[in-house]
């Protein structure tokens, strides 16, 4: 994926083009929430997550993408020596990465490009690999990645736009017929939803779960309201996802909030509440890049003395820290530069902080949807809730003391908020901080 077009890695985009479109997104309905009851982060911790783009089963996406990018632009803009890159990112590497992540408690999002670089469809045929090899690779993703990682399509091919009527790429190969660039400009909700649904159905055919999508390159940049609504429609249609989410934006520096955006909320008082959640990345790809063009920039995440770096900036202000990378750079043509960087980043994070919680993007999305869309009323002894969505580990702070009970069941006291889990509470600064599994519908916290 070209760095110059990859979301908003460039400071000019982060400062200008990105900030303005975000304001155009519509939040939709919001319920009344009593200011005396503060909704905190889950378990009063800071969520962290790793967003992995450009991954799929076996196909080394960048090797097959670059000649198509070069053809679309009609010059030698893409000069990488792709012919000497491996065709495959082997399942043995997926296993080592997945086992390391599970051991460290790391969670996040892992793309599965459904028709990678037009090489072949994962649900039909991928020339260059046997059906058995593809099936084993899919099975490995189900076994090792699905428990701790959300699976997203990154559109259909990540290169050429597919004609939905024929299932083939459009004959022309220009920036207007590439997913990464201009095809999505000013498309309607229905057009984008149809395209997203096509991608989602391929993953559905191979029985991978999915609650969200990732956009490749500049996809959706000039159709942001439509993209959000199309995500909502497509994920609900194909997967019946309750809270669809998408990854389109990031701020790699600066003071802009990187908290999730809960958009197009509606029907909160009825049987069919709806919303889409935009997940915001907080770093650039400092692991070697999509095209293995650098040796990485580890210290930009967090410095060796643990005192600074983008992750420190975001965690210190209490917002979710979603690291961004590309699977091709994590593998780095077998040198595994990005993997080594992530191992050190996670080691430093765990050395510096004891109040982080690793979460999948779907888990972050659910929490923020519940945080913003639950009606909350302060009562004499606690609070009442009317939630359109259930949410585990919901955490609130209320003034005063006493032994809180949630839905009639006493919460267990813990010594500090760092020990909070669902079904417990702590006292701090004249407040009770309660953590519980919030059910959909009405519930009550009382003394």
Domain ranges of the chain: 3-29+45-366, 374-446
Measured N-to-C along each axis, helices 91-104 and 337-352 cross at an angle, to the nearest 10 degrees, of: 0
What pLDDT, on a 0 to 100 scale, did the predictor assign at position 9? 32
Q: What is the pLDDT of residue 75?
A: 67
Does residue 191 carry a pLDDT above 80? yes
Give whole-number Cα distances, 337 to 6, 265, 348, in Å: 20, 41, 17
E-only strand ranges, 311-440: 321-326, 356-358, 375-378, 383-387, 391-399, 405-406, 409-410, 412-413, 424-428, 431-438
Q: Rounded mean pLDDT of the chain?
A: 93
Q: Which residues of 273-283 are buried (b: 16+ CB within 10 A; e: fewer)?
A: bbbbbbbbbbb
Name the fold adopted by 3-29+45-366: TIM Barrel (3.20.20)
364, pLDDT greater than 80? yes
Question: Which range, of 20-24, 192-196, 197-201, 441-445, averages the lowest pLDDT?
Answer: 20-24
| pLDDT greater at residue 12 or residue 222 | 222
Instruction: Please say if the pLDDT value at position 346 is more than 90.
Output: yes
- CA nearest neighbour of 230 among 267, 188, 180, 182: 188
Q: Which two tokens stand for residue 440?
A: 């959909």
Is the model's pLDDT at 11 over the cut of 70? no
Tell me the torsion sign for CA atoms 53, 112, 154, 232.
Answer: negative
Banded model confidence at residue 3, pLDDT cuts 50, 70, 90: very low
Reported as a single tens digit per residue, the pLDDT across 36-45 is 999 999 999 9
């Amino acid at each position: 994926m070209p760095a110059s077009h990859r979301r908003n890695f460039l400071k000019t985009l982060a400062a200008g083009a990105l900030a303005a479109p975000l304001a155009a997104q519509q939040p939709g309905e919001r319920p009344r929430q009593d200011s005396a009851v503060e909704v905190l982060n889950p378990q009063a911790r800071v969520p962290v997550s790793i967003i992995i783009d450009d991954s799929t089963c076996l196909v080394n996406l960048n090797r097959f993408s670059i000649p198509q990018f070069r053809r679309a632009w009609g010059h030698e803009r893409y000069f990488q020596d792709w012919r000497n890159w491996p065709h495959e990112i082997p399942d043995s590497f997926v296993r080592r990465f997945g086992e390391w992540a599970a051991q460290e408690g790391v969670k996040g999002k892992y793309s599965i490009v459904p028709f990678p670089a037009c090489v072949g469809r994962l649900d039909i045929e991928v020339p260059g690999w046997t059906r058995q090899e593809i099936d084993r690779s899919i099975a490995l993703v189900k076994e090792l990645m699905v428990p701790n990682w959300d699976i997203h399509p990154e559109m259909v091919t990540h290169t050429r736009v597919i004609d939905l009527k024929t299932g083939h790429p459009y004959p022309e190969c220009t920036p207007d017929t590439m997913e990464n660039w201009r095809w999505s400009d000013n498309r309607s909700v229905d057009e984008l939803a149809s395209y997203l649904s096509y991608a989602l159905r391929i993953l559905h055919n191979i029985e991978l779960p999915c609650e969200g999508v990732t956009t490749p390159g500049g996809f959706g940049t000039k159709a942001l309201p439509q993209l959000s609504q199309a995500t909502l429609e497509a994920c609900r249609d194909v997967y019946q996802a309750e809270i669809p989410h998408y990854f389109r934006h990031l701020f790699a520096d600066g003071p802009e909030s990187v908290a999730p955006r809960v958009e197009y909320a509606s029907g909160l008082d009825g049987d069919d509440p709806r919303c889409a959640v935009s997940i915001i990345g907080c770093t650039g790809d400092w692991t070697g890049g999509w095209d293995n063009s650098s040796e990485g920039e580890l210290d930009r995440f967090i410095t060796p003395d643990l005192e600074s770096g983008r992750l420190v900036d975001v965690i210190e202000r209490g917002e979710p820290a979603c690291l961004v990378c590309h699977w091709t750079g994590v593998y780095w043509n077998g040198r595994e530069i990005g993997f080594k960087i992530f191992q050190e980043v996670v080691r430093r994070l765990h050395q510096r902080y004891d109040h982080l919680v690793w979460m999948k993007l779907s888990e972050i999305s659910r929490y923020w949807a519940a945080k913003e869309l639950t009606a909350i009323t302060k009562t004499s002894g606690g609070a009442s809730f009317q939630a359109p969505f259930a949410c585990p580990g919901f955490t609130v702070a209320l003034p005063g003391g006493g032994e809180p009970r949630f839905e009639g069941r006493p919460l267990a006291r813990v010594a500090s908020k760092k020990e909070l889990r669902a079904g417990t509470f702590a006292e701090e600064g004249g407040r009770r901080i309660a953590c519980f599994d919030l059910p959909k519908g009405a519930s009550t916290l009382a003394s």
